[in-house]
Amino acid sequence: MPGRGKCFAGWRGIALWSIVAAMVGCTAQPTVDTRYHAISQDSRVQFIVLHYTEIDFARSLQRLTKEEVSSHYLVNDQPPTIYRLVDENQRAWHAGASFWQGYTHLNSNSIGIEIVNLGNGGNPRAAYAEYPEQQIKRVIELVRDVERRHGVRPDRVLGHSDIQPLTKQDPGPRFPWYQLALAGLIVWPEPESVAAARAHYAQELPVVLWFQQHLRAHGFDVSQNGQLDEVTRLSLSAFQMKYRPALYDGMPDAETAALLEVSTRPGGWVLMGADGQWHTYRVPD
């Protein structure tokens, strides 16, 4: 049946041509002229978020590479080594349902750094683990490099507890935030202003609504209801862990009020300069 054979051959030719055309279409790329560059642009990366793993290195690596959570970097303790697990151009799943200064879902605009540290093992009554000095040096090197390359502002280096205070405590009260401040990587409440404000608030402590307003201005997602509710207490605790880790009970007191006021006051932040001196840091508009 020659007619049928010709028909089959014709259809086979058409099918082959369709496949070739599809392949050409998939591989062809448009010609793009890249000579012009807009000045109104910046990095996708706006925040750096620090975590502790709460488990050892082997289990941390398994969880962050084989399960439904991830981070851009993992910093081991023994030996102190930096591992990149997710390319910085990709989104890692480390921040969850987060909030800071109106930004939500910080996975999309942050670099996540997990630090191998057992924390308190998930037991609120247990002591937190220390961070080895050499491991912190690696963290400082990494934060400095990410800040430099992406232009991350020093007021946007955060802890997981900052952006998820209801459920997270990492990197915990043992993490040496002040050491990062001395390295010029994060801002710090100006000490003399804090001391003066503390003396003032020791005479009369502000009401709960005042604390809520200042926590909100600082960055936390706190309701302004005037009640010392769970969200307010846990946000206070996260703030205290970072700036007053000796006591992080989540209760309003004069020192916390002073730290909050200075942290939200224009010109209240200072940043360590290359000259080894504190300089006033103005938050960009």
Residue 115 CA to residue 131 CA, distance in Å, equals 9
Q: Using the predicted structure, report yes or no on whether residue 14 has a pLDDT greater than 80.
A: no
Residue 49 CA to residue 105 CA, distance in Å, equals 12
**Residue 137: closest CA among 180, 94, 199:** 180
Residue in 114, 147, 255, 261 annotated catalytic: 114
Dihedral of alpha carbons 49, 50, 54, 57, sign? positive
Read off the pLDDT of each residue in 169-176 and give the average, rounded to a whole number: 97
Q: Give 125's contacts (C-beta < 8 A, 6+ positions apart).
A: none
Q: Using the predicted structure, report yes or no on whether residue 4 has a pLDDT greater than 50.
A: no
Q: Judging by DSSP bridges, how do beta strands 82-84 and 278-281 pair with one another?
A: unpaired
Rg of the chain in Å (alpha carbons): 26
Q: Using the predicted structure, report yes or no on whether residue 35 has a pLDDT greater than 80.
A: yes
pLDDT for the residue 122: 86
Question: Which amino acid, residue 64?
Answer: L
pLDDT for the residue 125: 86
> 17: pLDDT confidence band, cut at 50, 70 and 90?
very low
pLDDT for the residue 7: 42
Read off the pLDDT of each residue in 76-94 and give the average, rounded to a whole number: 97
pLDDT for the residue 8: 39
Residue 259 CA to residue 248 CA, distance in Å, equals 13
Residue bearing the bigger pLDDT, 267 or 21: 267
What pTM did the predictor assign? 0.88
pLDDT, tens digit, for every residue of 204-262? 999 999 999 999 999 999 999 999 999 999 999 999 999 999 999 999 999 999 999 99
Q: How far is CA 26 from the centre of its chain?
A: 38
Strand order in the sheet with 82-84: 82-84, 73-75, 110-115, 47-52, 157-159
pLDDT, tens digit, for every residue of 255-277? 999 999 999 999 999 999 999 99
Catalytic annotation on 261?
A: no
CB 146 within 8 A of CB 45: yes
pLDDT, tens digit, for every residue of 111-132? 999 999 999 998 888 999 999 9
Residues in the chain: 285
Torsion angle of C-alpha atoms 253, 268, 219, 140, degrees rounded to 10: -100
Read off the pLDDT of each residue in 44-58 and give the average, rounded to a whole number: 97
CA distances from 10 to 5, 15, 16, 131 (A): 9, 9, 10, 72
Q: Using the predicted structure, report yes or no on whether residue 9 has a pLDDT greater than 60.
A: no
Write phi, then psi, for 54 (nearest 5 degrees): 70, 5
pLDDT, tens digit, for every residue of 157-170? 999 999 999 999 99
